[in-house]
Structure 1
Amino acid sequence: MDKDINRREFIAAAGLTGVVGLAGCASGGDGGDGGDGGDGGSEMTDTETSGGDGGDGGSGGNNQLTWHAGGTGGTYYPLSNQFKSIVEANTDYTLQVQSTGASVENAGSLGNGSADFALLQNDVAYFAVNGEGIEAFQGNAIPNIKGVATLYPETIHVVTPANSDIQSVEDLSGAVINTGDLGSGTQVDARQILQAVGIEDYTEQNTDFSQAAEQIQNGDVDAAFVVGGWPVGAIEDLANNSNIRIVEISGDARQQVKEAGSYFADDEIPAGTYSGIDEPTQTVAVQAMIATNEEQSEEVVQSVTEAIFENTDELNIKQDFINAESAQDGMSIELHPGAQAYFDSAGMGGSSGNESTGNETMGNETTGNESS
């Protein structure tokens, strides 16, 4: 088998999880990201455009910007549409939000200019910019990606049927496991976690979050990895229709995972987040972020950033995590000058990019069962 391998309290450790395929940088990839938003899926919305030079909107009269999100079963897509409403109500720009495979695909789209803004995992951003960490990025750095803001924890979910014998990640040996879309952040996270806890004997399957949920429900896989800000829509739907368990990553296993990657931090899924799961679940997480590319003008990026962070009260997804005060925590790459200009003007200036302070624990903040 193929084995390649707070917010303010969540990750001051600049992070990374990676993925294995530069969908959008190499060939238009199907690879979903995990990043929460990353539920895979490569379908596009009706508003799909070619993007490219949308960032010239401020100077060229083209005020339409292309924003790449994630699959519709995660958090990136609905959150991106809330950002769209805020930006369009508070700036002269319009956003065309597209459903994509999320992090890795989005990194490629930012690199080749088919996206002006995108959501992705902070670990994926780091690996893409630095051309390291994952085979697909090695020798294929995407240095024009720039950070805008970090948002919220991307929680690692390991889902099994409730009647499964799998009680811990160490019990996954010999199992059939959906590790996420090929080339996705979820797949890389899953493989790193399995390797960290010594699981080498398993059969790997690869689909997006929604299909993984169907496989769990139908008994086609023993477990599935899903990376996303809780509650993940696909898991909510699964839990409402089937009895499931979220397998803990705790104790020695959690320590082994954090030692394998400084971008992993402690996390907890609160009790009641998913139907039938009445106890909190210990796990780990990475971090979601907004990114752009250096081709975007300072005016465009500052306007978009200001609109979002001055109107976070209009969000009902991850609202408790998303704020200007913590928007540079866990920033793994250099900020775009436009984002830096906004945070400086808001009194939130400071160093950013490629800093790592080690594994820190995310606070037990609860956002409630917002729609995902």
Structure 2
Amino acid sequence: MRRLARAAMVAAPILALGATGASADQFVRMVSGPSGGSWYPLGAKIMQVMQDNIDGVAASNTSGGGIANVKAVGGGDAEIGWTYAHTAANGYEGKGKFDKAVKDIAYFATLYPSTFQVAVPSDSKIMSFEDMKDANISPGKTGWTGTAFAESILQAYGFNFNDIKNNGGTVHYVDYTESVALMKDGHIDVFMAATSMPQASFIELNHSPGLRFIGVPEPKLTEIIKANPGYIRGAITPAAYEGVEQDIPTLGIVTSMIVSKDLPDDLVYQMMTIFWDNHAAFAEVKKTWNDVTLENALNGASVPVHPGAARYYEEKGVRPAS
């Protein structure tokens, strides 16, 4: 009830999908991702479908990032959020980028794998992460999981964001759209993002000025994965981007959705039904949604599953991978 009252006070100015406070019994606010990524447009469509099909619900979608979204849902500033399985686990346990445990979250669904992608202009002299110690980089906004990914990799190479600045480089904590503009104008040397593949921002930059992707070689991959439970191996593939001739090894993560544990069980059950019944509509927004499957919806579940979601999955015979 605390969250519902809080939502009623703040939702009016952020409603983006047409419902009014007068007609809504429950506000469901989603925090997704940046406008240039996959999370935001998918989130907007999901919230539209939820609002159109669940009586008494007014829905909204706003931008965010994996770490910040866990804090937003756990803190009562949103009811549903996009994140990653390992990020949700860190939040629940108060580890990593979380200075305290975030216990008011529950699992909703495992979605699709994301890939950590790092690119430089095709004519850049930067050939590896070792060459970024004094570079101008854009790793994402503070609170984004991709930014934490970047920190993990740089730490494995013996330096961090502060070292880059002290060496004369710059760190731009900006979104994908701003990163594209900065690289086109020659103001950054490196663009990093943890997102689906292919990703529109990298496609645009690959067209002009042209890109070259930087991989994470063995044994660094093993070292980083061992130090960061939840990270997995990934690859930037020739099928994703023109000019990539062979798989480029990198890191991967599993995209997930969490909800407030205080959402009513019946509402979450309804949300689950609408969510899975409209799979085709979401795939029309982003092809990566074709990788989202009901049978894998609990794979990697890293925090307690919401009772409303658990009821739905039990009825469908969905269980975590053994």
Q: How would you bin the TM-score normalised by the shorter chain? A: 0.7 to 0.9
Deviations along 1:238-267, one digit per CA (max 9) or x if unpaired, are: 223320112112322222221221211111
Alignment partner of 1:87 is 2:50 = yes
Aligned to 1:202: 164
Match for 1:216 among 160, 168, 183?
183
- Give the Cα separation in 1 of the matches to 2:316 and 2:85: 23
Corresponding residue for residue 3 of structure 1 = none
**TM-score normalised by structure 2 residue count:** 0.83
Question: Which has the higher mean CA deviation after the structures are superposed, 233-242 or 183-192?
Answer: 233-242
Greater relative CO, 1 or 2 (CA 8 Å, sep 6+): 1
Partner of 2:16: 47
Query: 1:93 & 1:152 partners in 2: Cα distance?
Result: 30
Per the alignment, residue 335 of structure 1 pairs with 305
Please show how residues 350-365 of structure 1 align to structure 2 within 5 Å: none
Secondary structure in 1 matching 2:289: coil
**Deviation of 1:95 (Å):** 5.3
Number of aligned residue pairs: 298
Higher share in helix: 2
Residue 330 of structure 1: CA displacement?
1.4
Paired residues of 1:150 and 1:329 also in contact (CA < 8 A): yes
- 2:63 is aligned with 1:96: no
Which stretch of structure 1 is more off in the superposition, 289-298 or 201-210?
201-210
- After superposition, the C-alpha distances for 1:170-204 in whole angstroms (9 at most, x for unaligned) are 33233232222123222211111111133454233
Q: Which residues of structure 1 form unaligned runs of 5+?
A: 1-43, 55-59, 352-356, 358-372
1:322 paired with 2:292, answer yes
SS of alignment partner, residue 319 of structure 1 = helix
Q: In 1, are the aligned partners of 2:24 and 2:56 still within 8 Å (CA)?
A: no
Identity of aligned residues (%): 23
Structure 1 counterpart of 2:95? 132
Mapped contact 2:150–2:192 kept (Cα < 8 A): yes
Query: Aligned ranges for residues 20-169 of structure 1 at < 5 Å?
Result: 47=16, 62-88=25-51, 90-92=53-55, 94=57, 96-134=59-97, 137-138=98-99, 140-169=100-129
Q: CA deviation at 1:341?
A: 0.7
The one of 174, 182, 191 equivalent to 2:142 is 182
Q: State how far apart, in whole Å, the 1-side matches of 2:311 and 2:278 are.
A: 17
Deviation at 1:88, TM superposition (A): 4.2
Partners in 1 of 2:105 and 2:50 — Cα distance?
Answer: 21
Structure 1 residues 24-48: Cα deviation after superposition (integer angstroms, max 9, x where no partner): xxxxxxxxxxxxxxxxxxxx96628
Q: Partners of 1:79 and 1:333 in 2: how far apart?
A: 23
Structure with larger Rg: 2
How far 1:90 moved relative to its partner? Answer: 4.4
TM-score (normalised: structure 1): 0.73
Q: Is the 8 A contact 1:87 1:307 kept in 2?
A: yes
Q: Which aligned pairs between 1:236-275 and structure 2 lie closer than 5 A?
A: 236-275=203-242
- Across the aligned residues of Structure 1 and Structure 2, the Cα RMSD in angstroms comes to 2.7
Residues 85 and 253, structure 2, Cα contact 8 Å, conserved in 1: yes
Secondary structure of 2:219's counterpart equals: helix
